[in-house]
Amino acid sequence: MLLSNLGSLLTLISAASAAQLTQVQGYGAGRAQMWIYVPDKVVPNPPLVVAIHSCQSSAQSYFTNSKIPWKQGSDAKGYITLWPSSPNSGTCWDVSSKSSLTHNGGGDSNAIANMITYAIQKYNVNATRVYVTGGSSGAMMSNVLAATYPSLMSAVSLYSGVPANCFVSSSNQVAAWNNDCSGGRSQKTPAQWAQDVFNMYPGYTGARPKMQIWHGSADGTLSPNNYQETIDQWTGVFNVSATVPTREVKDTPERGYTTRDFGEMVQGIWAQGVGHSVPSHLSVSEAWFGL
């Protein structure tokens, strides 16, 4: 009896002093799970970073993955991180069905949008400081979210993905694989990729997030061609040149990486010799977010 009371007391004390990844029920409609990490020293009216996992992963395993440093960033800077968890078999995000590729279509993108809206209210997040990042399937979803819910976030930093709508399933399957896209054979002009974005949220004319796009030249899972196709998509949306950068810096942020700006809203970071997927560069992504 005494021992068990002591145990409960210790549990209470550790819960009070150590922030943990916690599942949030009732965020709104959606099959995906919502997990949140509120650091011990959260800043008032905090920013929010949405970290979206890759295939064969989950909120919990992404959160504890040593290559995914957003918990550490959250602890150091006091922003909140939101970790959606995919409901699909194989646990890739649905970036192929019409419902997820459409604003308010009821798919996974809609679920994550509902989590963001819920987090803004529940945790007093500064709604103008919501940012999205992800790797692989999470990077694909980052592009889809930027296309379907552009007003919910102000910047995106995605690692090794494909353009929004590139994984579209001709038979409208949920979380389907798309060999043409993964193999780098889905190639379109900037105007065509931009039109795909416009079609995902017809009539939208408001602000859109700025896009930072990372890709490795040795990516054997999602062809490196998807780097330029994604640059084409967002330069098409922002109507700036996809071929002539406004700035190019070699060996930045590290040796072998090249950073290219296409105006203020699109930045590409090409990682020579790096495979799938490019490791998260916390301080570079944070800087892109203004954190």
Ligand X SMILES: *[C@@H]1O[C@H](CO)[C@@H](O)[C@H](O)[C@H]1NC(C)=O
Determine, following the binding rule CB under 6 A, whether residue 128 of this chain makes contact with ligand X.
Answer: yes
Out of 109, 136, 157, 280, pick the active-site residue. 136
Under DSSP, the state recorded for 264 is T
DSSP state, 160?
S
Number of residues that bind ligand X (CB under 6 A): 5
Shortest distance in whole angstroms from residue 47 CB to ligand X:
8
Query: Which CB atom, from 57 or from 133, has the smaller least distance to ligand X?
Result: 133
Q: How far apart are CA 25 and CA 22, in angstroms?
A: 10
Query: Judged by CB under 6 A, does residue 20 bind ligand X?
Result: no
Q: Distance (Å, rounded) from C-alpha 265 to C-alpha 254?
A: 22
In the complex, minimum distance from the CB of residue 129 to ligand X, in angstroms, rounded to a whole number: 5
CA gyration radius for the chain?
19
Of 120 and 176, which has the nearer Cβ to ligand X? Answer: 120
Q: How far is the CB of 107 from ligand X (least distance, A)?
A: 29
Our finding on whether 129 is near ligand X (CB under 6 A) is: yes
- How far the first Cα of the chain sits from its last, in Å, is 48
* Interaction between residue 189 and ligand X (CB under 6 A): no
Q: Is residue 136 among the annotated active site residues?
A: yes
String of contacts with ligand X for each residue 224-243, x by CB under 6 A: ---------------x----
Q: Name which of residues 79 to 98 contact ligand X (CB under 6 A).
A: none
| 45 sits near ligand X (criterion: CB under 6 A) | yes
Residue 239 CB, nearest distance to ligand X (Å)? 4
Nearest to 132 by CA among 82, 194, 96, 67: 82
- Confirm if 248 and 239 have CB atoms less than 8 A apart: no
Torsion of CA 42, 143, 86, 225, to 10 degrees: -130
Instruction: Output the CA angle 139-129-258, nearest 5 degrees.
Output: 45
Q: Which residues are bridge partners to 81 per DSSP?
A: 37, 49
Q: How far is the CB of 32 from ligand X (least distance, A)?
A: 27
Q: Which residues are catalytic?
A: 136
Binding residues (CB under 6 A) for ligand X: these are 45, 126, 128-129, 239
